[in-house]
Amino acid sequence: MASAASLRAGPDARGHFGAYGGRYVAETLMPLILDLETAYRAAQADPAFAAEFDWLMTHYVGRPSPMYFAEALTKHLGGAKIYFKRDELNHTGAHKINNCIGQILLAKRMGKTRIIAETGAGQHGVATATVAARFGLPCTIYMGARDVERQSPNVFRMKLLGAEVRPVESGSKTLKDAMNEALRDWVTNVHDTFYIIGTAAGPHPYPELVRDFQSVIGREAKAQIMEAEGRLPDVLCAAIGGGSNAIGLFHPFLDDESVRMVGVEAAGHGLHTAEHAASLVGGVDGVLHGNKTRLLQDADGQIAEAHSISAGLDYPGIGPEHAWLHSIGRVEYQSATDDEALRAFQLLCRTEGIIPALEPAHAIAAVTRFAPQMRADEIIVANLCGRGDKDIFTVAAALGVAL
Amino acid sequence: MSADRLSRTFARCAAQHRAALVTFVTAGDPDLTTSPLVLDALVRGGADIVEIGMPFTDPMADGPAIQAGNIRALGGGVTLVRLLAMVADFRTRDADTPLVLMGYFNPILAYGPDKFARDAHAAGLDGCIVVDLPPEEDAELATALTGHGLHLIRLATPTTDVRRLPAIVSGASGFLYYVAVAGITGAGSATADDIGVAVARIKASTDMPVAVGFGIRTPAAAAAVARVADAVVVGSAIVELIGAAHTARANDLPGQVETFVASLATAVRAARLDDAA
């Protein structure tokens, strides 16, 4: 249990991380969110809940994911030792499944009989469809119509798993609009439906419980790097859209002062343009989707459309705990452009024989910038949070290759 | 004081033994030129209270009709500043009809809650309904609004249980807005019986007038709710009419709105007379 002085003690009883977080939802949803919190507290106190979660992590997801020393990339960059936390090797190919297992176990405890979710790149949709199939619950996935187009392999995967995929035609037709539509579904089907939110954002207690379920990444990483190197890493690095893989890696290390942490936002066509998804570096405080956080918006409080080559990072907000960690300076937030991510994507393919998702390619892009500046005895752990099979069409198009 | 407009209106309707008719339109819908004419048409048609929607890019509690209204209005260039100018302009023609802003929190937060409350009071607004601001998060805005004599109107819903109701009622002012359907605007409808039970439950814990909205689309439906509530709110049906008339390039859009609102007003005014007969 973290002490009050710990950076791991948040959120407070009302779901706030400093000035961020909270529960900004329609009154219709408030009683549900309070119920969810009660159910989560009961689950936390029940050893059987943790036991079932751990069993599924081991036997269904395939955890622990390896901690891999990327020797070839380390040599290529000529600086710090680079390790990858290989969450792309999980069942369904990304870290998203960790959170989905936790939430569907909660849904079951609460007696809910129907699952809904939003998805951007489709990884969270696939993970949700997977656990819904495994636990025998009907499942509806909301996905922006633009994302349905650029992530067609994942759309088909969700359908194979028995989910209904509803393309969302409103707004920018991407992740934020999918989340709006999922909230509209939830407010209409309050009695039987459980909403599995995919990132560490939304109304309290979602940011907290998603973080807790994803913290399996950081707990394993800590034990694995201690075993491999006998000490803590110097730098942790992870890509950030909503921020669930990053908070999962960072959170168990927050009180380890020697560990520097770098979150990498999507800079799209560049921070000097209007086409990026860097809500910390380029956004201001605001309220959307149930929480106060940093948002891309205009002077009138209208939400701007984000842009990233990676559909999973294409969101104008960010989880409230990241907004807080940014405000107190504990985590350093950088960004990588579409072009930098594409170069890192190809570099990893050629040097390590790993095709990463475009999301972690942003983290790798940042690593290529700072690893060469570091000493050979320093250690970087980067989160390889998803595999790139889903992105080959996007990458081919960006490279001008006809498939 | 401007906030008295609401209590005067409810008192007048009560004296006439009828419910108040509340009509909702989105500010700037279908465009900045037509929108003020629509406000006037609502009043001419017989609206007792006007809810004016502040458009938002991400209206999470709204169905397709009001989403479309928001898109038309934002496309036409409405901002919170222009909305307040529209309110001030309306006040030069109408000093009495209460105007209540309905919207989401982010545009108000971006404007600055205190500055917003000051400017809204100066413009002649009477209160605010902020959809995504439950009592747990509304302290900052409540303080700002109350400080400038505006009402913070709170919502109760079918999921609001006996444990929550007291917290909602305490600190609410103006009237209580009962959302009759667990869902988004413009979809589904509750039975008059269910609404009657819910209103009675709310009335047991407050003396405030209770307005009922969501899913009320026709004069008959409005009349049914008018028998059991202090006010009836109609929104999506009017916004749909504006959308259709705009698409058809109708040159009498305000006239069509007035005619429809008049049919609602007639039904609401006659509702309790039918009972007596």
- How far is C-alpha A213 from the chain's CA centre? 11
CB contact under 8 A, B134 and A24: yes
> What is the predicted pLDDT for the residue at B276?
56
Q: Which two tokens stand for residue B236?
A: 């999506």
CA distances from A366 to A1, A84, A236 (A): 33, 14, 11
CB contact under 8 A, A287 and B184: no
Q: Is B194 a catalytic residue?
A: no
Question: Which residues of chain A does B129 touch, with a Cβ-Cβ cutoff of 8 Å?
Answer: none
Within 10 angstroms of residue A289's Cβ, the number of other Cβ atoms is 28
* Residue that terminates a domain, selected from A154, A186, A205: A205
Domain that holds residue A82: 62-93+215-399
Q: State the average pLDDT over residues A212-236.
A: 98
Q: By three-state DSSP, how is residue B252 classified?
A: coil
Question: Could you tell me if A234 and A259 are in contact, meaning their C-beta atoms sit under 8 angstroms apart?
Answer: yes
Tell me the per-residue pLDDT of B80-121, one tens digit each, with 9 for 90 and over: 999 999 999 999 999 999 999 999 999 999 999 999 999 999
Within 10 angstroms of residue B275's Cβ, the number of other Cβ atoms is 11
- How far is C-alpha A302 from the chain's CA centre? 24
Res. B2: pLDDT tops 50: no
Question: Could you tell me if A267 and A341 are in contact, meaning their C-beta atoms sit under 8 angstroms apart?
Answer: no
Same domain, A103 and A89: no
Residue type (1 letter), B96? D
Q: What is the DSSP letter of B20?
A: E
- Number of structural domains in chain A: 2
Q: How confident is the model at residue A379 (pLDDT cuts 50, 70, 90)?
A: very high
Same domain, A181 and A225: no
Q: What residues have CB less than 8 Å from B268, skipping those under 6 apart? A: B18, B19, B20, B21, B219, B222, B223, B226, B232
Q: Which of residues 110-149 of B touch A (CB under 8 A)?
A: 110-111, 131-134, 136-137
Instruction: With respect to residue A3, please indicate whether it lies within any of the assigned structural domains.
Output: no
CA distances from A110 to A40, A97, A102, A105, A126 (A): 9, 20, 13, 9, 23
Same domain, A192 and A265: no
Question: Could you tell me if A236 and A333 are in contact, meaning their C-beta atoms sit under 8 angstroms apart?
Answer: no
Instruction: With respect to residue A386, please indicate whether it lies within any of the assigned structural domains.
Output: yes
Same domain, A220 and A185: no
Task: Looking at the complex, report in whole angstroms how far the Cα of residue B61 sits from the nearest Cα belonging to chain A.
Answer: 6
CATH number of residue B31's parent domain: 3.20.20.70
Tell me the per-residue pLDDT of B165-180, one tens digit each, with 9 for 90 and over: 999 999 899 999 999 9
Domain that holds residue B256: 5-276
Mean pLDDT of chain B: 95
Question: Which residues of chain B does A176 touch, with a Cβ-Cβ cutoff of 8 Å?
Answer: 58
Q: Rounded to an integer, what distance in angstroms lies between the CA atom of residue A349 and that of residue A80?
A: 20
| H or E, element range at B129 | strand B127-130
CATH number of residue A179's parent domain: 3.40.50.1100
**Residue B271 phi, psi (nearest 5):** -55, -50
Q: Which residue of chain B has the CA closest to A176?
A: B58
The string of DSSP codes covering B203-236 is HTT--S-EEEESS--SHHHHHHHHTTSSEEEE-H
Q: What residues have CB less than 8 Å from A111, skipping those under 6 apart? A: none
Q: Which residue of chain B has the CA closest to A293?
A: B106
Q: By three-state DSSP, how is residue A139 classified?
A: strand
Q: By three-state DSSP, how is residue B94 classified?
A: coil
Q: Rounded to an integer, what distance in angstroms lies between the CA atom of residue A263 and that of residue A255?
A: 17
- Number of structural domains in chain B: 1
Same domain, A238 and A256: yes
Residue type (1 letter), A238? A
* Segment among A117-121, A331-335, A381-385 with least mean pLDDT: A117-121
In this complex, is the C-beta atom of B183 within 8 Å of any C-beta atom belonging to chain A?
A: yes
Same domain, A183 and A84: no
Instruction: With respect to residue A227, please indicate whether it lies within any of the assigned structural domains.
Output: yes
* Residue that terminates a domain, selected from A205, A229, A257: A205
In this complex, is the C-beta atom of A371 within 8 Å of any C-beta atom belonging to chain B?
A: no
Phi-psi region of A242 (alpha: psi -120 to 50; beta: other; left: phi over 0): alpha
Q: Which residue of chain B has the CA closest to A34?
A: B164
Q: What is the DSSP letter of B19?
A: P
| Strand-pair partners of A112 | none
Q: How confident is the model at residue B3 (pLDDT cuts 50, 70, 90)?
A: very low
Task: Looking at the complex, report in whole angstroms how far the Cα of residue A290 sits from the nearest Cα belonging to chain B.
Answer: 7
Q: Is B258 a catalytic residue?
A: no
Task: Looking at the complex, report in whole angstroms how far the Cα of residue B270 sits from the nearest Cα belonging to chain A.
Answer: 32
Res. A260: pLDDT tops 90: yes
In percent, the amount of chain A with pLDDT more than 90 equals 92
* Residue that terminates a domain, selected from A175, A205, A235: A205
